[in-house]
Amino acid sequence: MATNAMAYQIPGTSVSMRPPAGYVAADRFPGFTNEASGSSIMVTEIPGPFEAATSGFADKQRMKTQNMMILSRQPLKIDGHPGILLEAEQHVYGTLFRKWIVAVDHSGATTVIVASYPETSAMQGKQLKQALLSARIVKAGDPAEALDYTAAPVPPFKVASVIGQVMLLTPEGVFPVKEETVPLMVFAPSFSKGMAIADKKIFAEDRIRASAGLRNISVSSSKPVTIDGMPGIETIAVGEGEAAATPLTIYQVLLFDGSGYCVIQGLVHSKEKQAYIPVFEKMARSFRMKASHHN
C-alpha cells in the first residue's frame, strides 16, 4: 500500500494517490504518515464552493494566527479538475514545517490535500509534492467508513457532515447551520499523540473555555466519566454566541485514550437545555472506538 508504485484510495474520501515509500495509512486522519521523518499527508473534503473554502489562504491575518505563511501560489489541474498549488511554512511546537497544499474544485465541493514535512527534510518535500500531483479524483467513499469510531445519533439528530475524523450532527441533518440557536453536536478526535496531560479536569475545562464561536464561557460543573473503557471528564458550561450573543449551554465530554483524546461537544440554546442535555449525554455514551483503533 505505502509504496510509490501503487495508487491507494484514502478511505472515506474521493482521493486516490501514490504516497512516497515509507508512508503508511494514518490512524487519526484521512491520509498518510511517516513517523521517522515527522511528515504527513492529510485529505480534507469541504462541502462548499471552492472560492469560499480557499479564501482563508489569501487572508494573511488568518494565516498569521495559525503561525503560517504562504510562500507561493499557482493554478494547476488535478485529474482534469481546476485547483491551486500552495507552498507554505508553519511553526508548530517550535519546529518549522514546510507544506505543499493542493486545493481542488470538483462537483461543487472542495478537496484540500496538505503535505507537511520538517523544513530540514528537502528530499521529503520533493517526494511529497510529486505525491500530491499524482492525486486522482475518484468516486467518493462513505466518509463515516473512515472514522476511527462510531456513535449513534439520537432523534432529532442526524449526521449532517463528516470531514476527516470530525462528525457533526444537527436536527434532521441540516447543514450548514444558519442560526446559532440551532442545536448541534460534534465528535472530534485530537490530532495530537502522546500528550502529557497532568490534570485532566483542568485540561477539559480549559478546552471548553476555548470553544470556537463562543464568548464569556464559564464552567458550571465537571465530573469524571468512563465511556468505552476510556476515562474522561464530563463538563457543562454556559456562554454566548459571538454572532448574536445568544445564551448557550455547552455540554462536553473529553475522553483520553492513552495516545491523545477525543472531544465530544453539544451546543444548545440555554432555554432548551433541559430537553437536549439528556440527548447529548446519550449520544456521548454511544461512542465506541473501532476495534482496529482501540488501545
Number of neighbours of residue 270 by Cβ within 10 angstroms: 14
Q: In tens digits, what is the pLDDT along the chain, a chain of 295 residues?
A: 444 447 888 887 889 999 999 999 887 788 999 988 889 999 988 888 898 888 888 888 888 888 889 999 999 999 999 999 999 999 887 889 999 999 999 878 899 999 999 988 878 899 999 999 999 998 876 777 778 899 999 999 999 888 778 899 999 888 777 788 899 999 998 866 656 788 999 999 999 999 988 999 999 999 999 999 999 999 999 999 988 899 999 999 999 987 688 999 999 999 999 999 999 999 999 999 887 555 4
pLDDT of residue 293: 53
Cα separation, 147 vs 131, whole angstroms? 23
> What DSSP element (H or E) covers 115?
strand 109-118
All structural domains of the chain, each given as residue ranges with its CATH number in brackets, are: 8-137 (3.40.1000.10), 147-293 (3.40.1000.10)
CB within 8 Å of 26: residues ≥ 6 apart: 32, 33, 40, 42
Residue 276 CA: distances (Å) to CA of 40, 44, 248: 39, 30, 12
- Looking up cell 463538563, which residue turns up? 235
Say what the pLDDT of residue 243 is. Answer: 84
Cell of 33: 504518515
Strand order in the sheet with 184-189: 157-163, 166-171, 184-189, 261-269, 247-256, 230-241, 214-227
Residue 259 to residues 27, 134, 193, 283, Cα–Cα distance (Å): 11, 32, 5, 23
Q: Give dist(CA 220, CA 207) in Å, integer.
A: 14
How far from 222 is each of 101, 106, 109, 236, 265, CA to CA, in Å?
40, 44, 39, 7, 14
CB atoms within 10 A of CB 284: 23
Per-residue confidence (pLDDT) for residue 121, from 0 to 100:
81
C-alpha to C-alpha distances, 282 to 157, 168, 276, 285, nearest whole angstrom:
11, 15, 10, 5
Side chain identity at residue 161, one-letter code: S
pLDDT for res 193: 61
